[in-house]
Chain A
Amino acid sequence: MSALDRSAPPVSGALRDFSFPVVDRKELANGLDLRVARMNRLPMVNVSLFMRASEDALGHDRAGLAVLTADALEGGTKRRSGSDFAESLEKIGARVSASAGWEGTTVGISCLADRLPEAFAIMAEAVREPAFPEAEVRRALDQQLATIRQRKMDPGALATDSARAAYFAPDVPYVRAVDGTVASIEAMSRDTLRGYVEANYRPEQGGLVVVGDVEIDEVAEMVTKHFGDWRGAPVQIADFEVRAATTERRLILVHRPGAVQSEVRLGHVGTFRSTPDYYSLSIANMVLGGMFTSRLNLNLREKHGFTYGVRSRFTFRSSPGPFQISTAVGNDVTAPAVREAMRELAHMADGGPTQEEVAAARDYAAGVFGLQLETSGQVATRVNQLLIYGLADDHYDRYRDEVRAVTAEAATAAAAVHMRPSEAQIVVVGDADAIKQPLEDLGLAKVEVVGRD
């Protein structure tokens, strides 16, 4: 064997291009927007029904209602008890899930293709004829209350919740946790849930996405059979203005006596999904903290060994969601880690990424996109995004070109607008006795110590 030259990476082979699966579209008479993509590598199918029954349209007094309603759908239908509902699906190997969030409610099926007609019928039953038996509603409610309690004692979740409250003005829905508060949940009953479904589960303003080993005609037939006579007036779309709680920098220390580590969140109000500089901003964020070789990770983890990991992220929603850096660090390095994170944020906001960094992030984003279109579930998730955010049908066909077109200048401009270190809300959950003074000494802001309740 001739000796191999190992000194440089191998030359790439010939690129095999690929396209996003073809998505067929059909609008039903009742306004249901049906989108079907055929993938037949394996006999799987993935369905998701998206309805504009969203948490962001609910006032604080009804916070968590969309989430609770979705969770309680598994409590049974007018024809089946909760246990029978689970049994009829699981005996055919189907998994049905229901969940709700800021943008809406999604009911999904994942099953083998030959089981779809049965699973689809049962899923339709859950959406159109939920029974909400008293005991099942009580249980969903108790579970949600217990989850809220659990989150208060989980340092990571507590940090995220406290940070959100620091970013958003008190009347903005995003200020609260998506699954509500003890007060709002305790006030709900089966009638509240029934009323919510009646007023908000609708064929219009949402859509049905089916991806996998199926034909569109087959799907259209099922949809007509089970959803053809589904009607309802359009729902009230959320109407609110996102405002920050403050534009002053703050440093809030949530005291957790005896904590051996600090959970750090650092951020402010970000921007919305349809921002025109979406791609440039995404690239700037990847360089800051959106990949392993990001500035934050190379600094805090690989250079200083402060943390197991650190990341930054813009949560893009229909309205501006949070922009946030998050990490967990030891007590003795909490202050230096906050200092370095702030330094990287300021550096990115002031100077933007370099040409080389932008090129690396672009290549990563364009490449990894193709890697994540392997499964019916991944493709269904993508098609759903089109529905949720009202993106163009050819969005994914253009995606890689858009990413590759991002320049260092554009990414720098996006960072300057959307990353604002002077407005950063720094939230640390940790042992105040160990970390307060060093944080104070950073001189970033006066340290405000609060209890965890």
Chain B
Amino acid sequence: MTLLSIDFERHRLENGLKVVLAPDRTVPVVATNLWYGVGSRNEPEGKTGFAHLFEHMMFQGSAHVPKNRHFELIERVGGTLNATTWFDRTNYFEAVPSHELDLCLWLESDRMGWMLPAMNQEKLDNQRDVVMNEKLQRYDNQPYGDWSERLQHLVFPADHPYHHTVIGSMEDIENATLDDVASFFETFYVPNNAVLTVAGDIDPAEALASIERYFGEIPAGGDVPPIPGRTELEHVIGTTVRDTVVSDVPLPRVIMGFRIPPYSADAFATAEIARALLGMGRASRFYRHLVREQQIAKSVATYAYPLMTGASMLLVWGTGYPGSDPADLEQAMTRELEGLIDARQDEIDRAISLTETDLVRALERVSERADLLSMFDLYFDDPGRLNRELDRLRSVTLDDVRGFVGEQLGRNNRAILTYVPENAG
């Protein structure tokens, strides 16, 4: 049974911009979503954090749109908007009442085609300050706030693009210049490095004509330069690596990272199933055993990062109780990881049932549809993959899971980050 069938059509403008249209006229809402093929992986040494800083600059206006006007216009029509930067991509999105589609297209095309004339030092200085405050708020002033940086250092070697964080180093941010903004824009923010998805209450022919009108005259750019550093990577770390941090955290926490095949590999589906068996829902192994039965963990979580470049990462988290020994927690987590060798089919079925409901729930929103279609088009040149997500997971066998335990979760592939409360006595 497959419930999922999101209708869409694909187009490509002469300048290389890929377009996905997904009509659904049941509610008067339209979502626009632009994925650019640039993220922190494209940053050379000395320029870390720039992709994210640049994302902030994209809201500072363009030739025909003064500073703050983008927000004002979208809020004025009752719309919502934002943008995010990650390792492999940057996305920009709006959701508005459907009669305001052209407003989104005008705003997005203006900054894709005419951003640079509006840039100046004052805007750059202002957004550098905002980004530095973002780093303070989300990382430096938070218990466990440095976990991602520490874990990335353990899982990926110094010459791999996932070694450094998306927020980057504040020293690099300090040194960013207007010339950097210009060259980044000209290199990466070109129509041939982007996917535009419009989902919701549209007539596809009219929407396509509008997209042509607003984006068609933007010239194609050059080819995107190769990703700096080493992009081919073994799918295991090679050993067990550790980092133990004694700091001002409330509770002990163990975060284990495993290098795994990239999102583009067939084997990634096995990683998704393995992480679901371990940590998805309250019948999962971590929750059932560590939280409920042994009461050794206060909370648990697991993630398989969908990363594209050379390798990706599976994460498992456990947070202990006050005064408990993180070594015991680590041992209990390790037992569960190794115990996956006897995974059962009913566990896989449960994971797929939960995933199905979660996916349908997500697709109730046209903005989620747009985001996923953009992602599948940018990463795989295949937006239709959205309609095959569950089949992909259903194809994972028990043998695949057993093989995964041996190949990816063993001692030769563990990065273990431990937080110990400093006042634990």
Residues of chain A lying within 8 A (CB to CB) of residue B125: 305
Q: CB of B387 within 8 A of chain A? A: no
Complexed CA–CA distance, A366 and B78 (Å): 7
User: A12-B100, A13-B101 given as contacts; is B364 within 8 A of A90 (CB)?
Assistant: no
User: A4-B214, A91-B353, A365-B78 given as contacts; is B364 within 8 A of A308 (CB)?
Assistant: no
Q: Report the contact-size class of chain A (Cβ under 8 Å from the partner).
A: 35 or more
Residue of A nearest to B352 (CB): A93
Q: Does A6 contact B353, Cβ atoms closer than 8 Å? A: no
Complexed CA–CA distance, A143 and B322 (Å): 10
Of residues 73 to 100 in B, which have CB atoms within 8 Å of A's CB atoms?
Answer: 73, 75-80, 95-100
Q: CB of B356 within 8 A of chain A? A: yes
User: A12-B100, A367-B97 given as contacts; is B283 within 8 A of A373 (CB)?
Assistant: no
Interface size on B, residues (CB 8 A): 86
Q: Does A90 contact B282, Cβ atoms closer than 8 Å? A: yes
Q: Does A364 contact B76, Cβ atoms closer than 8 Å? A: yes
Q: CB of A276 within 8 A of chain B? A: no
Residues of chain A lying within 8 A (CB to CB) of residue B142: 154-155
Output the residue of B68, B105, B282 with the most chain A CB within 10 A: B282
Residue of A nearest to B60 (CB): A302
| Chain A 5-33 interface 0/1 with B at a Cβ cutoff of 8 Å (1 = within) | 01111111111111000000000000000
Q: Does A149 contact B102, Cβ atoms closer than 8 Å? A: no
| Chain A 65-98 interface 0/1 with B at a Cβ cutoff of 8 Å (1 = within) | 0000000001000000011001100111111000
Select which of A4, A91, A142 is within 8 A of B349 by beta carbon. Answer: A91
Residues of chain B lying within 8 A (CB to CB) of residue A149: 250-251, 322
Complexed CA–CA distance, A146 and B67 (Å): 45
Q: CB of B141 within 8 A of chain A? A: yes
Q: Does A4 contact B357, Cβ atoms closer than 8 Å? A: no
Q: CB of B116 within 8 A of chain A? A: no
Q: Does B76 contact A7, Cβ atoms closer than 8 Å? A: no
Q: Does B361 contact A86, Cβ atoms closer than 8 Å? A: no
Q: Does B77 contact A142, Cβ atoms closer than 8 Å? A: no
Q: CB of A176 within 8 A of chain B? A: no
Complexed CA–CA distance, A261 and B72 (Å): 29
Which stretch (A40-48, A184-192, A224-232) binds chain B? A40-48
Q: CB of A279 within 8 A of chain B? A: no
Q: CB of B298 within 8 A of chain A? A: yes
Residues of chain B lying within 8 A (CB to CB) of residue A12: 77, 99-100, 102-103
Residues of chain A lying within 8 A (CB to CB) of residue B68: 293, 298, 302
Of residues 324 to 380 in A, which have CB atoms within 8 Å of B's CB atoms?
Answer: 328-330, 360, 363-371, 373-377
Residue of A nearest to B132 (CB): A330
Q: CB of A111 within 8 A of chain B? A: yes
Complexed CA–CA distance, A307 and B126 (Å): 10
Q: CB of A444 within 8 A of chain B? A: no
B420 to chain A, nearest CB (A): 14
B62 to chain A, nearest CB (A): 9
Residues of chain B lying within 8 A (CB to CB) of residue A11: 102
Residues of chain B lying within 8 A (CB to CB) of residue A291: 75
User: A155-B141, A260-B140, A308-B133 given as contacts; is B106 within 8 A of A6 (CB)?
Assistant: yes
A22 to chain B, nearest CB (A): 15
Residues of chain B lying within 8 A (CB to CB) of residue A260: 136, 140-141
Q: CB of B110 within 8 A of chain A? A: yes
Complexed CA–CA distance, A302 and B251 (Å): 36
Q: CB of B288 within 8 A of chain A? A: yes
Chain A: residues with CB nearer than 8 A to chain B? 1, 3-4, 6-18, 41-44, 74, 82-83, 86-87, 90-95, 110-112, 135-136, 138-139, 142-143, 145-147, 149-150, 152-155, 259-261, 263, 291-293, 298, 301-308, 328-330, 360, 363-371, 373-377
**Contact sample, A vs B, 18 pairs, CB 8 Å cutoff:** A4-B213, A6-B64, A9-B106, A13-B100, A42-B363, A86-B288, A95-B357, A112-B3, A143-B298, A153-B248, A154-B143, A155-B142, A261-B140, A308-B134, A308-B138, A374-B27, A374-B364, A375-B361
Q: With A4-B213, A152-B250 given, can you name 19 additional A-B contacts, CB distance below 8 Å?
A: A13-B101, A13-B102, A41-B364, A74-B282, A82-B292, A91-B283, A92-B353, A146-B298, A149-B322, A261-B136, A263-B141, A293-B72, A305-B125, A305-B133, A308-B131, A360-B76, A365-B78, A368-B78, A374-B29
Chain B: residues with CB nearer than 8 A to chain A? 3, 24, 26-29, 63-64, 67-68, 71-73, 75-80, 95-103, 105-106, 110, 114, 125-134, 136-138, 140-143, 201, 212-214, 216-217, 248-251, 281-283, 287-288, 291-293, 295, 298-299, 321-322, 346, 349-350, 353-357, 360-361, 363-366
